[in-house]
Amino acid sequence: MKKELVIEWKHIGSDIDNTCERCHETGMTLAAVLTEISTLLEMEGVSVRVVEIVLPNEAVAESNSLLFNGVPIEDLLEGVEVTTTPCCSCSCITCEEDTECRALRYNGEEYEAIPPELIGRAAMKALEME
């Protein structure tokens, strides 16, 4: 039976080229990780579908997030916490000063863009849950 991995990428801005810098980096990293692991997933009978969700500017708190089969990355991976940090590029998009954007904290490090190792681990964890 074929499995499906659905990855939702949420961000403000009209598309990958018109979003904040950290969301853009997360989107580019997601594409790179999927390119890297797609052959392995295909061999295992897993199809991958990426759903890009463009949020209204008022939903900046949900921006820069990834869900794997409906589960947020921070709920899939132990020790990953959501935090917020000032984001100049979100401030430009939302036309508000001092806009804060989602970031992740893991093992004492703070990540404004979601790093490839967390994306890969979350994808594998989501598939284990099926």
pLDDT on residue 66: 97
Residues 6+ apart with CB under 8 A from 124: none
- 69, 130 in Cβ contact below 8 A? yes
Report the C-alpha gap between 116 and 15 in whole angstroms.
20
| Banded model confidence at residue 92, pLDDT cuts 50, 70, 90 | low
Helix residue ranges per DSSP H, 9-115: 21-43, 73-76, 88-94
Q: Provide mean pLDDT across the span 21-33.
A: 91
Q: Provide mean pLDDT across the span 64-78.
A: 96
pLDDT on residue 32: 96
21-30, 89-98, 100-109, 111-120: lowest mean pLDDT where?
A: 89-98
Q: Which residue has the higher pLDDT, 101 or 78?
A: 78
What's the pTM value of the predicted model, to 2 decimals? 0.88
| Banded model confidence at residue 97, pLDDT cuts 50, 70, 90 | low
Radius of gyration of the chain (CA): 15
Mean pLDDT score across all residues of the chain: 86
Torsion sign across C-alpha atoms 56, 60, 61, 67: positive
Q: How far apart are the first and last CA of the chain?
A: 12
Report the C-alpha gap between 93 and 70 in whole angstroms.
27
Q: Is the pLDDT of residue 30 over 80?
A: yes
| Banded model confidence at residue 105, pLDDT cuts 50, 70, 90 | very high
**Burial (CB count <10 Å: 0-12, 13-18, 19+), residue 122:** buried
Q: Is the pLDDT of residue 91 over 60?
A: no
